């Protein structure tokens, strides 16, 4: 099975071609350009260089969240459009699960962390078993203090991946907890991880592919707070 995967949930964007679990090619970019300008051309360039077309692809995969609201919308919308136009199956995978694949060589407890601001991270815990990440928790926004307590209870060193890894490592080490920081080339999200996470997922359709934000956007939170205040003022 040939999978064309995309990752746009954070600052770095990437596209990958994976055939039967083997990486054929990957294109990553962290130039600061908007993903709406870079993501589709990356996929098209990879297919062209591999002498393939979209018609050769068996499955389209994308990180559907959590992460940057704008980045997720760009990636999901693009893959929905491709799946619709090409009449191809598609699937969305957890950004955090995709990141956990970067811990294969490290083994043990894998802790993907994405900066969610306000001293919180998007996180899930995984353990490497039989050459793949096995989920220990659901995806969640979690305070660093609470994450530190969970890791302290587990009592083992965690391998940190993601754009929140450096920040989280400093916090955890400041509380005397052992952790390992992924090297920079493995730290950021990747489309390869998206493709690997998609291997055991049930393929869906363009209509069924939806973003997963885990929490409301800042604009939505501010709107709700404003409505609460206005409602309180009418009492």
The CATH number of the domain holding residue 183 is 3.30.420.40
Q: Do 87 and 121 lie in a common domain?
A: no
- Average pLDDT for 137-160: 97
pLDDT of residue 33: 64
The DSSP string of 192-230 is HHHHHHHTTSPPB-TTT-----SS--HHHHHHHHHHHHH
Whether 124 is covered by a domain: the verdict is yes
Kindly report the average pLDDT of the chain as a whole number: 92
Q: Do 7 and 81 lie in a common domain?
A: yes
Whether 231 is covered by a domain: the verdict is no
CB of 65 closer than 8 Å to CB of 9: yes
pLDDT of residue 222: 45
Whether the model pTM is above 0.75? yes
Cis previous bond, 215, omega within 30: no
Q: Do 182 and 205 lie in a common domain?
A: no
* 118 band by pLDDT with thresholds 50, 70 and 90: confident
In the three-class reduction of DSSP (H, G, I as helix; E, B as strand; rest coil), residue 99 is classed as: helix
- Average pLDDT for 190-210: 97
Query: Cα–Cα distance between 35 and 191 in angstroms, integer?
Result: 13
Give which of 105, 150, 93 is closest to 125, Cα–Cα: 150
**Domain encompassing residue 112:** 102-187
- Average pLDDT for 125-138: 97
């Amino acid at each position: 099975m040939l999978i064309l995967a995309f990752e746009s949930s954070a600052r770095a964007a990437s596209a990958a071609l994976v055939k039967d679990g083997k990486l054929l090619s990957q294109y990553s970019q962290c130039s600061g350009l908007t993903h709406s300008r870079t993501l589709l051309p990356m996929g098209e360039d990879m297919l062209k260089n591999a002498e393939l077309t979209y018609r050769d692809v068996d499955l389209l995969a994308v990180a559907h969240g959590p992460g940057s609201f704008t980045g997720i919308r760009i990636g999901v919308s693009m893959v929905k459009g491709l799946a619709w136009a090409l009449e191809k199956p598609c699937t969305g995978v957890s950004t955090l699960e995709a990141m956990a694949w970067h811990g294969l060589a490290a083994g043990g407890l894998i802790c993907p962390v994405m900066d969610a601001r306000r001293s919180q991270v998007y996180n899930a815990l995984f353990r490497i078993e039989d050459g793949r990440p096995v989920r220990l928790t659901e995806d969640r926004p979690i305070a660093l203090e609470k994450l530190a307590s969970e890791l302290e209870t587990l009592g083992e060193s965690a391998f940190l991946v993601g754009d929140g890894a450096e920040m989280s490592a400093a916090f955890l080490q400041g509380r005397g907890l052992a952790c390992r920081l992924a090297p920079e080339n493995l730290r950021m999200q990747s489309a390869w991880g998206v493709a690997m996470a998609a291997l055991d997922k049930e393929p869906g359709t363009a209509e069924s592919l939806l973003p997963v934000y885990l929490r409301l956007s800042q604009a939505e939170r501010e709107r709700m707070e404003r409505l609460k205040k206005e409602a309180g003022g009418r009492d």
